[in-house]
Amino acid sequence: MADTPTIADDKVVSIHYSLTLENGQVASSSKGGEPMAYLHGHQNIVPGLETALEGGKVGDKFKVQVAPKDGYGEARPEAVQQVPREAFPDDMELAAGMSFVTKDETGEVTPVWVVSVADDAITITLDHPLAGETLNFAVEVIEIRDAAEEELQHGHPHGPGGHDH
Ligand code: ZN
């Protein structure tokens, strides 16, 4: 009898999921589209959800509530900063809700989100938009497979539901 695959490090896992916030708003969902694929043990998804999926099998359906510290982190007021408009290229379109990455001298990449845009100043934050939120996930495990060598090197899955480069 073949072993039933279970979710463990270096497995590519496809899930259908919905993410509901405490106010009832659905923040994101895979329903009606491709399942989302992620590489287990490589920080592709928030830690609280990854822990809940550990050891799971195809067909498992469950709900899990993830506290901010195991999700996108606590909201930090000091993460919000004002930046003069001149700090950005003239031709760069800026709008609330958009995100981009900055790179420091060491090459470390930091994601940044735009909070609001005024004529002379842009308000940005280093916090993920869902920082401080309690996350309510409903999950169904669709597929579990071994990762290819290239996927392990990249740290993310390729193909349907994953990266398509
Ligand atoms: Zn890749």
The string of pLDDT tens digits covering residues 106-165 is 988 888 999 999 988 999 999 999 999 999 999 999 999 999 999 999 999 999 888 888
Report how far ligand 1's centroid is from the alpha carbon of 90 (Å). Answer: 32
Report the separation in Å between the CA atom of 104 and the middle of ligand 1, taken as the mean of its atom positions. Answer: 23
pLDDT at 1: 55
Query: What pLDDT is recorded for position 87?
Result: 87
Give the confidence band of 73 by pLDDT, cuts at 50, 70, 90.
very high
Alpha-carbon dihedral 22, 27, 32, 38, rounded to 10 degrees: -100
Q: For residue 70, which of 42, 55, 49 has the smallest C-alpha distance?
A: 49
- Report CA(11)–ligand 1 centroid distance (Å): 15
Summarize pLDDT for 45-67 with one digit per residue, the tens. Answer: 999 999 999 999 999 999 999 99
What is residue 153's predicted lDDT score, i.e. its pLDDT? 96
Rounded to 10 degrees, what is the CA torsion of 22, 26, 30, 36?
-40
Whether 90 has a pLDDT exceeding 90, the answer reads no
CA of 37 relative to ligand 1 center, distance in Å: 12
Question: What pTM, to 2 d.p., does this model score?
Answer: 0.84
Look at residue 165 in the predicted model and tell me its pLDDT.
87
Q: How confident is the model at residue 92 (pLDDT cuts 50, 70, 90)?
A: confident
> Are the C-beta atoms of 33 and 161 separated by less than 8 Å?
no
Residue 2 binned pLDDT confidence (cut-offs 50, 70, 90): low
- DSSP per-residue codes, 12-52: EEEEEEEEE-TTS-EEEE-TTSPPEEEETTTTSS-HHHHHH
Q: Which of 22-36, 58-72, 81-95, 144-158 has the lowest mean pLDDT?
A: 81-95
Q: What is the pLDDT of residue 84?
A: 94
Give the largest CA-CA distance in the chain: 67
